[in-house]
Amino acid sequence: MSLVNEVRKAFYLDSVALMRYSRTLAEMTGVDEAAMMMGTPANREIMTNAGLLGPDAEGAEGGDLIIGIRGRDDASAQAAIAAAKQLLDQPSGRAASNDVWRPRSIRAAVASEPAANLALISVSGEFAVAEARKAIRRGLHVMIFSDNVPIADEVTLKREAAELGCLVMGPDCGTSIINGVPLAFANKVPRGRIAIVGASGTGIQEVSCLIAAGGGGISQAIGVGGRDLTADVGGISTMMALDALERAAGTEHIVVISKPPAEAVAKEIVKRIGESEKTFTVCFIGAEPGALPANARFADTLKAASVLALESAGVTVDATAASNPQPAPSGRDRIIGLFSGGTLCSEAQIIFARAGRPVVSNVPIPGAPGPAEPETADRLIDLGDDQYTRGRPHPMIDPGVRDAALADALRDEVTGIVLLDVVIGYGAHEDPAGHLARQLEDAAGHGPLIVASVTGTEGDPQVRSSQVAILERAGVLVAPSNADAAALALACLSGGKP
């Protein structure tokens, strides 16, 4: 055992800094005890009691710094003394931390950012309404990403918020772009004069990306939640969003996207559109086109919605699919579609229905006739549906959710084509195409054809063209849109003739 003292005359350091240094030294190998203290009588007593004060430190006074090391042997003690001197001579000289404080409650967040007027709520569904209430009582609009909120709570909350003049986007609202800021799952699209109000997250993503690809831009994209246009909710948020956009000078054209609304709600919306001074595209996926006022046109697919919106904004679009079909393996005439976006799955069903091919789906579009022989019919599956995501992330976050179904489809001997969507953007997986390419490695060349689309833009973190390139290298036929991919799949099946 070896005790070594060293004294620095007239060298002051704060006691907390010294305690931290002492701990560093005490943790060195071969050091039994270590202390660095100013030589005040109280400190000298502490060091004496700890067996850290020897004759070498006898003359030290209050303004002197004492280093005391008790080591297993002299070499260990001397090494610690050297380390101590290094700590004294070369203080860290840089900020040890860049940790920025983040508020943990809506109240504190508002206090730190008083100009904020929107809260994005993404907590477990059972707490979402309580948090949303806190927000609207502070005058904030809310976007509720959470799902599993009872519909009765949604109705009450939306009514309360409307009283307070606050818009509730959601619950289960996956996508919004407010003042150019993408929220939750959304893409980097240019700003422009087209607004979207949508009860479908992937619907908003697909339409906004196609508008961007066609040279248009988005003023606002307002998600309202999948149930807003049901009879229970009555379109409260959709109507508020339309009112707000009516007043917004930067918006000329408005696209409304939803599953077929309840009849009474559809009527209200159409009436409201008729009173508007702006032009509209109405895209009720799976609904029959009803009578619309002169300032509105009906789109039966997301792609058609983007084309009509672009035309209204004065952009002409070449809407023909750019990809060349290839013949699917002969003797295999079944298509299996595995989608991460629910509305993309619905859109594909419409394309298939139009081509006279009834499909099996876990999310069938209303009124679609079921196939005569469901066992061998085409299957278009939404893997984002609850039955696949219970206890798992959404396939847009974790593309692995699709792996098992994809492997089954690739092995299936009557399947000629596998149809896929790849959705990128903020919130989505960092490289869904790469993940898909790895799953396809073994199947390349001898299995079914793979047809896909990529919903996204060049500005997205994953970069659309890079994702497309990865898929094409893996042998995937990539179409410019989801609707085009569905059409391409059908064309490939009919022998590769467009």
Partner 1 sequence: MEAIEQANRAAVGRMLEADPVLIDVVPACEAIPALADGRKILHAGPPIEWDRMCGPMRGAIAGIAVFEGWSAGLDEATAMAAEGAFEFHPNHHFGAVGPMTGMTTRSQPVMVVENRTFANRAYCTVNEGLGKVMRFGGNDAQVLKRLAWLRDVAGPLLAKALRECGGIPLKSLIARGLSMGDEMHQRNVACSGLLLRELAPALARTSQDVQLLAELLSFMGGNDQFFLNVGMATGKAIMDPVRGIECSSIVTAMSRNGTDFGIRVSGTGDTWFIAPVEMPEGLYFPGFTETDSNPDMGDSTIVETIGLGGFAMGAAPAVAGFVGAGAASEAGNYTRAMTEIGYGENPEWTIPALDYLGVPTGIDIRLVVETGIAPTINTGIAHKEPGIGQIGAGVVRAPMDCFKQALRAFADEMGVSGQ
Decide if 213 contacts 468 (C-beta within 8 A): no
CB of 26 to partner 1, least distance (A): 8
- The answer to the question of residue 101 lying near partner 1 (CB under 8 A) is yes
* Alpha carbons 357 and 346: distance in angstroms, whole number: 14
Q: Work out which of 55, 93, 95, 369 binds partner 1, going by CB under 8 A.
A: 95
49 binds partner 1 (CB under 8 A): yes
Would you give the end-to-end CA distance of the chain in angstroms? 89
Among 1, 9, 11, 17, the residue binding partner 1 under the rule CB under 8 A is: 17
Please give the Cα distance from 239 to 271 (Å, whole number): 11
State the nearest-atom distance from the C-beta of 173 to partner 1, in Å.
24
* Sole window of 15-23, 187-195, 398-406, 460-468 interacting with partner 1 (rule: CB under 8 A): 15-23
Among 4, 31, 38, 52, which residue sits at the site for partner 1 (rule: CB under 8 A)?
52
33 near partner 1, rule: CB under 8 A: yes
- Residue 22 exposure: Cα atoms within 13 Å on the Cβ side: 22
The residue from 39, 68, 198, 201 that contacts partner 1 (CB under 8 A) is: 68
Count the site residues for partner 1 by CB under 8 A: 36
Q: What is the DSSP string of 87-126?
A: HHHS---S-S--PPP--SSHHHHHHH-TT--EEEE-S-HH
Distance CA 464, CA 371 (A): 35
State which of residues 112, 122, 148, 494 lies at the interface with partner 1 (CB under 8 A). 112
Q: Is 122 in the site for partner 1 (CB under 8 A)?
A: no
Contact 253, 222 (CB under 8 A): no
The reply to whether 46 sits near partner 1 by the rule CB under 8 A is: yes
367 binds partner 1 (CB under 8 A): no
- CB 103, min distance to partner 1, A: 7
Q: Compute the radius of gyration of the chain from its Cα atoms.
A: 32
Instruction: Please say which residue, 116 or 319, places its beta carbon nearer to partner 1.
Output: 116
Burial of 80 (0-12, 13-18, 19+ CB in 10 A): buried
Query: Is position 372 an interface residue for partner 1 (rule: CB under 8 A)?
Result: no
Contact with partner 1 (CB under 8 A) among 26, 116, 368, 463: 26
Q: Which pair of tokens denotes residue 57? A: 């430190």
CA atoms of 455 and 471, how far apart (whole Å): 13
Structural contact between residues 482 and 344, judged by C-beta atoms closer than 8 angstroms: yes
The CB-of-76 to partner 1 minimum distance in angstroms stands at 16
Q: Tally Cβ neighbours within 10 Å of residue 65.
A: 20
Which one of the spans 14-22, 147-155, 269-277, 307-315 is the region binding partner 1 (CB under 8 A)?
14-22
- Site residues, partner 1 (CB under 8 A): 14, 16-17, 19-20, 22-23, 26, 33-35, 37, 40, 42, 45-47, 49-52, 68, 95-101, 103-105, 107-108, 111-112
